[in-house]
Structure 1
Amino acid sequence: MLGKVKIVFAVFAIVLMATIVNYPSPAFSESIKIGMVTSRSGVFQEWGTQELRGLELGLEYATKGTNKILNRKIELIVEDDTSKPDVGVQKAIKLLTETKVDILTGAISSAVAMAIQEKALEYKKPYVISAASADAITGQNFNRYTFRIGRSLRQGSLSGAKYIVDNIGKNIAILAADYAGGRAFVAAYKQDFIANGGKIVVELYAPLTTTDFTPYLQKIKNSGAHALMLFVTGANFTTLLPKQIDELGIYSKMKVATDFADIQFFKSLGMAGVGMVGTCMYYYELFDNPINKWLVERHQRKFNAPPELWAGHSFATGIALVAAIKKAGSVDTEALIKALEGLEFYGPKTRKEKIRIRPEDHQAMQGVPVVQLFKVPGKDYPVPKLLFLPSADQVALPITVPKK
C-alpha cells in the first residue's frame, strides 16, 4: 500500500512540474499594453494616420519584427480623439481604467496632449508624446510622467528665426492657426525673431475652420513685411491657405517661411513655393542613415507611399519605448521613468549624434533642420533640401519647468 502511495505521489509531482514548466506565470505571459490616442477623424485625421503608421513601424524595427519586448507581446490599442481635447481625455481615461494600458502615447494636437498629460499625472502612468509641440508640455505644464520625443516649438524657432532675420529681412509678419499649438508657435518664434534683431510688424490668428484667408492676407500684404512666417496645421491651412497666398501675389511681394509639414503641404504650395525656407523636422529624403533607409523602404512596401512628417516622429517614439522598457526590465511606472530620463537612442532623423531625453524636463534634445525648397525633376511639388542641421548643443533650449 505504501508503495502505491509513493508511486501516485511521484506521478503527481511530475505532472505538477510539467505544469509549472509549460505554463509560465501570468505576470510574465501578459502582453505589454501601449495605448495610443490620436486623430483618426477630424481636422488632424491625415496626420493621425501618419503618427499611427510610424509608431507601428518603430515598434517593428526596434523589436526586429518579433513585436515582443522582454519575451512579452506588444499590444497596441488605438483610440480616436476626433482632434478634440475633451474627446481625447475621455479616450485616455478609457485606456487607463478599462484597458489598463502600461504606457500612453499619441496626440497630434497640443491642446489634446496637454489635456491628456493631466490624466497621466492623475493615474500615474507614463505618457510619451511624438507630435504635439507646444513648449508648455515640457515647460509650464511639466509633470514627471510626461515625455516628448518630437521637437518642441522653441527648438524649431531657435534653429529657424536667426536664419530668417539674417538672410531674408528684419520686418516679420506672422499668421498662425488660432489654437494652443498656433499661439505657442508664435510665442516661440517672436522671442527668437526679436532676440536676433527682427521686428514683428503684424501678428494674426485665424480659426482652424477658416476657408477664406483673404482678410488676413490683405493686412499682411500691406504691412511692409520682408517675410511672412506661417504656422500651418490641419487641412484648411495646408491646402487652402497656400493657394490663396499665391492668388494674392504675396510670394512675389515678400519671402514666405514656415515650419514645413508633409508632402501634401508641399503640393499645396506648388512651384510658387520654390525658394521658401524654414524648418522641416522630417522629410524622407533629407536623412541619409540606415535607420531612415529601413523606415522609407518598409513604409513604401507596407503602405505604398513614403513616410510623412509625423511618421518620422512616431517611428522614433517606437524605438524609444522599446529601449526604455528593455532598460527598465519591466513596465513598472517608476522603473520606466528612471529608464526614460537620460535615455539615448538613434532615430531616423539623426546622423552622428544620438537623441537624448533631458532628465530635467523630459524633452528629447535634437537639432531641427533648416531647409530650402527647390524644383526637382520628376517631382510635382517643391522639394526640401538641407541647408544645415544644427546639433542639439547649438539649439540651446532653455529649461522652463516651474521651480517648486
Structure 2
Amino acid sequence: MKLLTRLAATVATSIAFAGAASAEEPIKIALIHGLSGSSFEAFSKQAQTGFELGLEYATGGTNEVKGRPIEVIVKDTQFKPDVARAVLAEAYGDDEVLLAVGATSSGVTKGMLPIAEEYEKILIVEPAVADSLTGPDSNRYIFKTSRNSSMDMQAQALALKPDENLFVATLAEDYAFGRDGIEAFKTALAGSGATIVTEEFVPQGTADFTAATERMFNALKDKEGRKVILVYVAGSGDAPGKIQALDPERYGIELSMGGHILPVLPTYKRFPGMEGAVYYYYEAYDNPVNKWLVDTHQERFDGPPDFFTAGGMAAALAVVKTLETATSYETEDLIAAMEGMSWETPKGKMTFRPEDHQALQSMVHFKIRVDDNVDWAIPDLVRIIEADEMSIPVGRNNN
C-alpha cells in the first residue's frame, strides 16, 4: 500500500513538473525583415527596435505572456523574394514559431503570403504597405498592422483639399508599392473634380528623373488652376530634390509628398509650407503609449522614435494582446481572437477589419516648418485624420 502511495506521489510530482516545464516553454515569434542588400535596411532596423520595445511595454518588462517567455527569432530576407519564402518556411517548420511578422518590401512580402497559407500559420505584415497584401491574392492567415497605400493616398488627397481646380501629375516607382499607391490616389480623388493629367512610373533605384519630370511639366504647365506633382517614391535617388532643381515654380507647379523617416526629413527643408500626410510623427500623437515610446526611445537611443519604430511597436502590441486573449494558441483560435480586435498603439486605437485583416488606423496631416535649431524639417500637425474619415477598400472577403 505504501509502495502504491509512493508511486502515485511520484507520478503526480512528475506530472506537475512536466506541466511547469510546458508552461515555461517559450512562445516563438519570427521577425522576418530585410537586414542586408538594400537602402531599406534602415526601415527594418527601426521596425525591429519598435517590436522589441512593444513587447517590453505590453508585458510590463517581463517579456512573458501567461508565464511563458517570448522568444523572437530574427531572419534576413536579403530583400529577395525567394530568400524570404525560404526563411519564412524555415521559421514555420524547423523553428516551429507560433506566428511571424514581416517584411519590409511590399514586393518581397507578396511572395511570402502563400507560405503562410501552406503552413496554416499567421503572418502579420509590418511594415510593407501595398494594398495587394490584403487583396484577392492574399489569404485568411494574413493580418496587416502597417498602413496601406489607400490610407497613404486618401490622407494625401485630403491634405491637398482637391476640387475642380486641382491638376496633378504623379511620380512613383514601378513595383507593388508605387503602382498600388497611385491607383489608390486616383480612387481617392474620384468625384472631387480634380484631374490626373499624367502618371510616371520609373524603375526602382532610378537616379535620373529628368525625362519623367519634363513629361510632367509638359502635361501641367498650360493648365489653369493649382498644379501639383505628387511624388510617391520610397527609395533613394532624391526625386523631390531633382524635380525641384528643374525649377517647377517657373510653371506655377508645386510639389506634394508624404512624410518620411527622420534621416530623410532634412531634405524637406527645401519645401517650407508643403502639406501632406504621413503615417506617424512622434510629436503628433498625445496618448500614454506614444509618451512611453518617445520617452524611452529618447533615453536609450538619444533621439526620438521614427515612424517604422512606431509600426514595429504596434505589431508587437497586437501580438501580445492576441496571446493574452486567444482561447488557445491553435491557429484558428488566434484568428478568432484577432478578427475585429482593437488595441492601443502609439497612433491610438487600431482595429483589424474582419473582412480582410487590414488594421484600420489614423494618419497625420502635416505642414512643413523649418527651424534652424532643428536638424530636420518639422512636419507640424495640422490635424489627425481619423480612420473613419477614409473609405479604405476591402481587399478580400473572408466570409
TM-score normalized by the length of structure 1: 0.91
- 1:23-47: CA deviation from partner (whole Å, max 9, x where unpaired): 5355423211111111101221111
Shift of 1:13: 4.8
Report the CA distance shift for 1:168/1:71 in structure 2 as closer, same or farther (over 3 A): farther
Is 2:366 the counterpart of 1:371? yes
Residue in structure 2 matching 1:52, options 48, 51, 62 = 48
Rounded Cα–Cα distance in structure 1 between residues aligned with 2:371 and 2:37: 33
Residue in structure 1 matching 2:346, options 345, 348, 351 = 348
Q: More deviation in 216-225 or 177-186?
A: 216-225
- 1:220-254: CA deviation from partner (whole Å, max 9, x where unpaired): 233326111111212x14xx323323322236742
| Aligned residue runs from structure 1 range 106-117, under 5 A | 106-117=102-113
Counterpart of 1:137?
133
Residue in structure 1 matching 2:89, options 77, 90, 93 = 93
Give SS of 1:223's match.
helix
Give SS of 1:166's match.
coil
Q: More deviation in 120-129 or 148-157?
A: 148-157
Give SS of 1:140's match.
coil
Counterpart of 1:261?
260
One-letter amino acid of the counterpart of residue 315, structure 2: T
Shift of 1:316: 0.7
Residue in structure 2 matching 1:312, options 304, 310, 313 = 310
In structure 2, stretches of 5+ residues that fail to align are 222-226
Rounded Cα–Cα distance in structure 2 between residues aligned with 1:401 and 1:346: 25
| Aligned residue runs from structure 1 range 144-155, under 5 A | 144-155=140-151
Is 2:171 the counterpart of 1:170? no
Residue in structure 2 matching 1:339, options 331, 337, 340 = 337
Residue in structure 2 matching 1:41, options 36, 43, 56 = 36
- 1:128-181: CA deviation from partner (whole Å, max 9, x where unpaired): 112211112222223111011121111222222143153895110111011111
How many matched pairs? 392
Rounded Cα–Cα distance in structure 2 between residues aligned with 1:218 and 1:326: 55
Rounded Cα–Cα distance in structure 2 between residues aligned with 1:330 and 1:230: 45
| Preserved contact between residue 105 and residue 129 of structure 1 (Cα < 8 Å) | yes
Residue in structure 2 matching 1:158, options 150, 154, 160 = 154
| Preserved contact between residue 163 and residue 193 of structure 2 (Cα < 8 Å) | no
| Preserved contact between residue 130 and residue 313 of structure 1 (Cα < 8 Å) | yes
- 1:47-66: CA deviation from partner (whole Å, max 9, x where unpaired): 11111111111111111110
Counterpart of 1:283?
281
Shift of 1:376: 2.8
- 1:311-345: CA deviation from partner (whole Å, max 9, x where unpaired): 11121111111001111043210110000001011
In structure 1, stretches of 5+ residues that fail to align are none
Counterpart of 1:231?
232
Shift of 1:99: 0.9
TM-score normalized by the length of structure 2: 0.92
Pairwise CA RMSD: 2.2
Give SS of 1:385's match.
strand
